[in-house]
């Protein structure tokens, strides 16, 4: 009886190990984003998605480790409750920019009031006031809490008109200027805080190995 039980257990462990090997081999076959879709069609119980890691926006130890991996490499982190793999599908560099702004809401203020405040902001900045303090004092959206900082952004991250005037302009670091978006009743004072920077990103498949029953 004991022999039968041991044999059954060994057989079960063998099946699990084989299933795990097959799962990892199927991960190894993934080379492109199209392969990711095929993978999930074949492994319907697997849970996962493609996520983007950015070297400036993601400063965790995990993100740092993943960004150091080559394309096609995979690894899992032992502290996860389930075995979760991260496989690098693509790596590339994208031009990013950084600016801060004071946003003024045309629904709550007249054009004259807006222009008066913007003139005051620019004047005070040129006198030596910190833009972060001016944004906290005057800005009318959530960016006021971070001193107007928009963070690192690239094409497609901001309102198209705001983005166009910032990114397609001939502005240099520390240039201060205004942007109007009348159709949105949105008015800005913008300060360029960083020049163009190529930032590395990686598209990574994060997938959790299904539990074996």
Structural domains for the chain = 2-88+203-208 (no CATH), 95-199 (3.10.50.40)
Asked if 71 and 79 count as a contact pair (C-beta separation under 8 A), the reply is no
State pLDDT tens for residues 11-49.
Answer: 343 434 444 567 778 888 899 999 999 888 888 888 899
Radius of gyration for the alpha carbons in the chain, expressed in angstroms and rounded: 26
Give the residue with greater pLDDT, 45 vs 90.
Answer: 90
Q: Identify the pLDDT of residue 150.
A: 95
Return the bridge partners of 98, or none. Answer: 152, 194
- Residue ranges of alpha helices (H) inside the chain are 2-28, 33-42, 61-67, 111-127, 131-138, 160-167
Residues 92-113, mean pLDDT to the nearest whole number = 96
Name the pLDDT band for 76 (thresholds 50, 70, 90): confident
């Amino acid at each position: 009886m004991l022999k039968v039980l041991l044999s059954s257990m060994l057989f079960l462990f063998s099946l699990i190990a084989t299933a795990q090997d097959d799962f990892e081999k199927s991960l190894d076959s993934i080379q492109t984003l199209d392969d990711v879709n095929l993978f999930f069609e074949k492994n319907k119980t697997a849970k996962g998605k493609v996520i983007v890691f950015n070297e400036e926006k993601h400063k965790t130890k995990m993100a740092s480790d993943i960004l150091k991996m080559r394309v096609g490499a995979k690894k899992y982190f032992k502290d996860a409750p389930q075995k979760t793999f991260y496989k690098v599908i693509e790596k590339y560099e994208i031009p990013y920019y950084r600016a801060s702004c004071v946003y003024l809401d045309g629904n709550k203020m007249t054009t004259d009031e807006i222009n008066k405040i913007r003139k005051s902001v620019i004047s005070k900045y040129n006198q030596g006031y910190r833009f972060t303090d001016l944004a906290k004092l005057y800005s009318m959206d959530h960016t006021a809490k971070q001193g107007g900082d928009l963070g690192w952004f690239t094409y497609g991250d901001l309102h198209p008109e705001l983005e166009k005037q910032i990114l397609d302009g001939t502005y240099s670091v520390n240039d201060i200027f205004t942007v109007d978006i009348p159709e949105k009743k949105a008015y800005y004072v913008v300060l360029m805080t960083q020049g163009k920077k190529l930032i590395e990103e990686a598209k990574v498949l994060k997938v959790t190995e299904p539990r074996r029953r």
